[in-house]
């Protein structure tokens, strides 16, 4: 049972069963990373375009490796999100791409909803690698995979997500993914960085770090999005770090078996002290490794297939 959809734009509209399929497939893909020849022919002859219109090295590299290990031809197109700067609208960029017949476009853009626009316009599969403040589905999926690996299951676990929730697509995607897999979520941060109506997504809200991290299985710290912040949300980085940054000291309030996660890159000394980021509770590096596996899984599930024709069911031996 694969995914019966053309695109992966958001976690919000995924069925829990689809999330499980993706995680299971990703788990099977992990072994390829340990081979000497890190290649399987599954996507041979397929073209994947990485359309990264917002700066990103790690996510783009992760998708690039994922595509190449599956033997796909990966093309990186980078540039500015601004139509004005580029002199070309997103729609124009998309139409130009389509003329080259890609099988998949992985898009990162600073405008929420940009992947949806592409998905309406293009025939090929679209994977959302992060759109504005809206969602970052592959991040949430790799986070879930990491948690499942470390804990053996997802259902019933509790998570605290701490930081600039308001502007965070990682937070939104994780909230959706975690709620769909039976986890309970608390968000924490200064009130100015908690968006209105977030409770309607099924999460608890607290303004104090200490209250959030006590008794939870997982603490996920978010990057303070300096580039998104204009307009007086916090008085200073210093105060933010003091009140909402996670240091070893504050970590004492958490459980002994807590997992510390972060989507990266870490602002050391602001949301995480270096000791915590590099310490024994941190699974940040596992997250990165799982990123490639999750992206391979998605490329496989969405791109590997052909049209409607094809043998139903098993392969003849």
Partner 1 sequence: MNLVVRNGRVIDPANGLDAPGDVLILDGLVSRVGPKLQAPAATPTVDAGGRVVTPGLIDIHVHLREPGHEYKETIASGTRAAAAGGFTAVACMANTSPVNDTRAVTDYILAQARAGGLVRVYPIGAVTRGLKGTELAELGELAEAGCVAYSDDGRPVMNSALLRRALEYAQTFGKPIISHAEDATLAEGGVMHEGSISTDLGLRGIPAAAEEILVARDIALAELTGHRVHIAHVSTTAAVRLLRDAKARGVPVTGEVTPHHLLLTDEAMRSYDANAKMAPALRPKRDVEACREALADGTLDAIATDHAPHALTDKEVELDQAANGVIGLETAAALCLTHLVREGVLDLPTLITRLTVGPARVLDLPGGSLTPGAPGDVTILDLERAHTIDPARFYSRSRNTPFGGRACVGAPWMTVVGGRIVMREGTLA
Partner 2 sequence: MLPREKAQVLDDQGIDRALTRIAHEILERAGGADALALVGIRTRGVSLARRIAERLQAIEGVKIPVGVLDITLYRDDLGLKAEMPVLRGTDIPFPVAGKTVVLVDDVLYTGRTIRAALDAIIDLGRPRLIQLAVLIDRGHRELPIRPDYVGKNLPTARREIVQVLLREHDGQDRVVIQEPEG
Binding site for partner 2 (CB under 8 A): 1-4, 21, 24-25, 27-29, 31, 35-37, 39-42, 45, 70, 297, 300-301, 304-311, 314-317
- How many Cβ atoms are within 10 Å of 12's Cβ, its own excluded? 16
Q: Which stretch binds partner 1 (CB under 8 A): 14-22, 89-97, 216-224, 237-245?
A: 89-97
Contact flag: residue 7 with partner 1 (CB under 8 A): no
| Stretch in the footprint of partner 1 (CB under 8 A) among 97-105, 112-120, 138-146, 262-270 | 112-120
- Strand order across the 47-52 sheet: 73-78, 47-52, 104-109, 125-131
Considering only 6, 30, 86, 116, the residue that binds partner 1 (CB under 8 A) is 116
How far is the C-alpha of 6 from the C-alpha of 104, rounded, in Å?
Answer: 10
Given partner 2, partner 1, none, residue 198, with its beta carbon under 5 to 8 Å by kind, binds partner 1
Between residues 16 and 195, which has the closer beta carbon with respect to partner 1?
195
Tokens coding 177: 């993914």
Q: Which of 60, 109 has the CB closer to partner 1?
A: 109
Nearer to partner 1, 187 or 254 (CB): 187
Binds partner 1 by CB under 8 A, chosen from 37, 84, 309, 317: 84
Tell me if 201 contacts partner 1 by CB under 8 A. yes
Smallest distance from the beta carbon of 191 to partner 2, in angstroms? Answer: 44
- Cα distance between residue 285 and residue 131, in whole Å: 24
Which of partner 2, partner 1, none does 256 bind, CB closer than 5 to 8 A by kind? none
CA angle (41, 46, 51) in 5-degree steps: 125
Contact partner, 99, from partner 1, partner 2, none, Cβ < 5-8 Å per class: none
Residues 129-188 that bind partner 1 (CB under 8 A): 131-135, 169, 172
Burial per residue of 209-218, b for 16 or more beta-carbon CB atoms within 10 angstroms, e otherwise: beebbeebbb
State yes or no: residue 109 binds partner 1 (CB under 8 A).
yes
The one of partner 1, partner 2, none whose footprint includes residue 28, by CB under 5 to 8 A per kind, is: partner 2
Angle at CA of residue 56, ends 269 and 133, nearest 5°: 80
* Least distance in angstroms from the C-beta of 314 to partner 2: 8
Closest CA to 69 of 40, 93, 106, 47: 40
Q: How far is the CB of 33 from partner 2 (least distance, A)?
A: 12
Nearer to partner 1, 13 or 28 (CB): 13
31 in contact with partner 1 (CB under 8 A): no
Q: Which does 132 bind (CB under 5 to 8 A by kind): partner 1, partner 2, none?
A: partner 1
224-228's contacts with Cβ under 8 Å and 24+ in sequence apart are: 224/163, 224/164, 224/267, 224/270, 224/271, 225/164, 225/167, 225/168, 226/267, 228/133, 228/164, 228/167
229 part of the interface to partner 1, by CB under 8 A:
no
Phi, psi of 89, deg, nearest 5 = -75, 165
Residues that bind partner 1 (CB under 8 A): 12, 81-84, 89-91, 109-114, 116-117, 131-135, 169, 172, 195-198, 200-201
């Amino acid at each position: 049972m694969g995914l019966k959809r053309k695109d992966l734009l958001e976690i919000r509209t995924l069925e829990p069963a689809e999330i499980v399929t993706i995680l299971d497939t990703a788990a099977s893909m992990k072994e390829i990373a340990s081979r000497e020849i890190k290649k399987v022919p599954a996507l041979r002859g397929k073209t994947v375009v990485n359309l990264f219109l917002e700066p990103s090295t790690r996510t783009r590299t992760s998708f690039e490796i994922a595509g190449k290990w599956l033997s796909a031809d990966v093309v990186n197109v980078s540039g500015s999100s601004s139509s004005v700067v580029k002199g070309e609208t997103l729609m124009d960029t998309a139409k130009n791409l389509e003329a080259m017949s890609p099988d998949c476009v992985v898009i990162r853009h600073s405008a929420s909803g940009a992947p949806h626009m592409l998905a309406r316009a293009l025939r090929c599969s679209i994977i959302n690698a992060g759109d504005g403040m809206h969602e970052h589905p592959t991040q949430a999926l790799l986070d879930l995979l990491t948690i499942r690996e470390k804990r053996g299951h997802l259902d019933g676990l509790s998570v605290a997500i701490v930081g600039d929730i308001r502007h965070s697509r990682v937070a939104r995607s994780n909230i959706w993914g975690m709620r769909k897999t039976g986890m309970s979520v608390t968000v924490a941060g200064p009130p100015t960085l908690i968006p209105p109506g977030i409770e309607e997504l099924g999460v608890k809200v607290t303004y104090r770090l200490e209250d959030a991290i006590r008794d939870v299985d997982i603490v996920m710290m978010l990057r303070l999005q300096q580039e998104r912040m204009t307009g007086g949300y916090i008085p200073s980085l210093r105060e933010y770090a003091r009140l909402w940054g996670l240091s070893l000291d504050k970590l004492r309030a958490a459980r002994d078996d807590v997992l510390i996660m972060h989507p990266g890159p870490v602002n050391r000394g602001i949301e995480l002290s270096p000791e915590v980021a590099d310490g024994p509770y941190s699974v940040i590096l596992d997250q990165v490794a799982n990123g490639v596996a999750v992206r391979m899984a998605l490329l496989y599930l969405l791109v590997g297939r052909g049209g409607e024709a094809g043998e139903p069911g098993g392969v003849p031996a």
